[in-house]
């Protein structure tokens, strides 16, 4: 460093003794000296507010040639009044964050079969019906059924979907390998389909628009509708959860704070 003939000023970070190994702080800053006569500040900063990295080995940044001593010592410039000067710093901390994805796989989770008995099914005249809430693997689910099909067009099929209640937050998503079925209560020849899907805030449900035709439903010998009761099931075979977490490595002790330091001539800041 060669600041001959100039006032040199540096910003040093302190109070890091208890910080974790490998700590670092990224900051941009402005250093200034007060013109005590005109009540103005001479402000010096890096080009375009460059971000500097403070860490164990490099705890200070600044300017070797902040201000020529010839200018600093001229009383009419207002920097040195009654053998006293005022320096300051404005610090803007740029927190560094890391995004992590935590993935957990669960095979055949507890209570993986969700059974919904729908009585008086032939009298259901709404477009959509939803089951109670089921908890599987600490996640909440519902079964959705469209008695007359997804788009309520000519009633040729029954649509069934699995719906996630836990996908409200954008950082949450779940991968699920599951089955949806309408039980054959006589012959055990169920209407069943299997799917794999990532459930997320933008895709909270998944299923089959034509899980069972109305023709098969109304055929008593096929056993899907017994005593006007329909049994719908969802079974989760494999489930994984992915949580995205944003963590800050370390929060510094100073943020967007202006400091005024009163020092005598000859001190090094």
Strands 225-226 and 229-248: what pairing? antiparallel
| SS3 at position 72 | helix
Strand, coil or helix: 268: coil
Query: What pLDDT is recorded for position 102?
Result: 63
Tokens of 168: 């409200």
Under a CB-based contact definition with an 8 Å cutoff, are residues 54 and 61 in contact? yes
CA distances, 38 to each of 42, 70, 76, 99, 107 (Å) = 11, 19, 10, 48, 74
* pTM of the complete model: 0.55
d(CA 147, CA 155): 8
Task: End-to-end CA distance of the chain: give it in Å, rounded.
Answer: 15
Quickly count: other Cβ atoms within 10 Å of residue 17's Cβ.
5
Task: Using alpha carbons, select from 63, 62, 61, 57 the residue that is nearest to residue 24.
Answer: 57
- Note whether 173 and 199 are within 8 A (CB): yes
Each residue's pLDDT tens digit in the chain (269 positions)? Answer: 557 888 888 888 888 888 887 788 888 888 888 899 988 888 887 766 788 888 888 889 888 888 899 999 998 999 998 888 888 888 888 775 555 566 677 888 889 999 999 999 999 989 999 999 999 988 899 999 999 888 765 568 999 999 999 876 676 788 899 999 999 999 999 999 999 999 988 899 999 999 999 999 999 999 999 999 999 999 999 988 665 554 444 333 333 333 444 433 222 33
Q: Which phi-psi region, left, alpha or beta, contains residue 48 (left: φ > 0; alpha: ψ -120 to 50)?
A: left
Domains of the chain: 6-96+249-264 (2.60.210.10), 101-246 (2.60.210.10)
């Amino acid at each position: 460093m060669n600041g001959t003939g100039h006032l040199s000023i540096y910003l040093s970070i302190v109070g890091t003794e208890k910080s974790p190994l490998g700590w670092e702080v990224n900051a941009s800053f402005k250093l200034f000296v007060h013109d005590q006569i005109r009540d103005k500040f001479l402000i010096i900063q890096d080009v375009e507010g460059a971000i500097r990295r403070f860490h164990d080995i490099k705890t200070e940044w600044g300017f070797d040639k902040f201000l020529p001593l010839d200018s600093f010592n001229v009383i009419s410039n207002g920097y040195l009044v009654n053998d006293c000067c005022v320096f300051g710093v404005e610090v803007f901390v740029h927190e560094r964050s890391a995004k992590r994805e935590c993935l957990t796989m669960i095979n055949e989770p507890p209570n993986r079969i969700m059974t919904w008995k729908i009585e008086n099914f032939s009298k259901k005249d709404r477009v959509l019906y939803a089951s109670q809430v089921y908890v599987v693997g600490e996640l909440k689910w519902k079964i959705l059924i469209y008695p007359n099909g997804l788009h309520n067009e000519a009633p040729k099929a029954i649509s069934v979907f699995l719906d996630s209640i836990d996908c409200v937050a954008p950082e949450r998503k779940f991968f699920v390998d599951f089955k949806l079925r309408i039980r054959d209560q006589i012959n055990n020849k169920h209407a069943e389909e299997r799917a794999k899907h990532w459930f997320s805030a933008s895709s909270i449900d998944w299923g089959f628009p034509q899980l069972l035709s109305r023709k098969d439903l109304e055929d008593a010998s096929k056993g899907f509708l017994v005593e006007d009761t329909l049994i719908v099931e969802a079974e989760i075979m494999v489930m994984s959860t992915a949580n995205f977490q944003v963590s800050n490595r370390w929060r510094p002790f100073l943020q967007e704070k202006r400091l005024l330091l009163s020092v005598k001539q000859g001190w090094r800041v």
